[in-house]
Amino acid sequence: MSAELSPIEKAKFVAARRASDMVENGMKVGLGTGSTAAWMVRCLGERVREEGLKIKGVPTSTRTADLAREVGIEVIALDEAGWLDLTIDGADEFDAELNLIKGGGGAHLQEKIVASASDRMVVIADPAKEVAHLGAFPLPVEVIPFGWKTTRKLVEEMLEGMDVLGRDVTIRMNGAMPFVTDEGNHILDLHLLRIGNPRQLALVLNQVPGVVENGLFIDICDTVVIGHGDGRVELRDVAAGSVQQDSIEFAESENLFKDV
């Protein structure tokens, strides 16, 4: 079954497989959202079923919660967990300092809360997610529905003073209607092309009335696991300044690859 995966999906899978090996018995683990995180949830579910791994998972979206339950992971709320040992999640972009853009799946508010309530955040990604400068991927900004058009204008005005190349702001749509997050909010996508000062932008954005949270993750990610289509895996730890090389064998697993 794994031979049928595209190189990108294989890269996502090996990154997820390697990160899932970091999870130990008894841990409380934040479960990210997105295509790469879904592989991680499946890998953890396989360990639960085949190794008897006992963990409690805190999902960052309803779809992650549904998948976790489906593969046999015990799901609890963040308030019940209190504090997490580890969060594993994907990213839409990451730079050399492991700053991230997240929110392509519309879950960055819950993702940031869960990651910030963890001893460690590990990001799993394929090589295409690494960039010299953040901003090519549109930056998601979650806003409350009330007065969202006014909020968009305020964001556009704020961007005039920021070090960015583009300033186009669009409302994310779901068909003919604005996209709605798990928290009942909308998302503005900021097409900035290049962000010169992500830290400054993250702070200023959250001061705009109507903005709930932005998709810039600054000083939150500790380790990135980069998977490659040939099974190679690279682990980068920003605090230790270390880089490790590893490889993952593609093992056939009907339970893991079903419905993919």
50 is catalytic: no
Residue with tokens 């919660």: 65
What are the two backbone dihedrals, phi and then psi, of residue 89, each rounded to the nearest 5 degrees?
-150, 165
CB-based contact 118:220 (threshold 8 Å): no
Positive or negative, the CA dihedral 42, 45, 49, 52 is: positive
Q: What is the distance between the alpha carbons of residues 70 and 76, in angstroms, rounded to a whole number?
A: 14
Q: What is the distance between the alpha carbons of residues 88 and 44, in angstroms, rounded to a whole number?
A: 11
Q: Residue 2 burial by CB count (10 A; 0-12/13-18/19+): exposed, middle or buried? A: middle
DSSP alpha helix (H) spans, the chain: 7-20, 35-51, 62-70, 78-81, 108-116, 148-159, 198-205, 254-257
CA 128 to the chain's CA centroid: 15
- Catalytic option among 46, 93, 111, 142: 111
List of E strands, 80-119: 86-89, 93-94, 100-101
- The token duo for 43 is 């890998």
- Would you please indicate which residues are annotated as catalytic (active-site) residues? 111
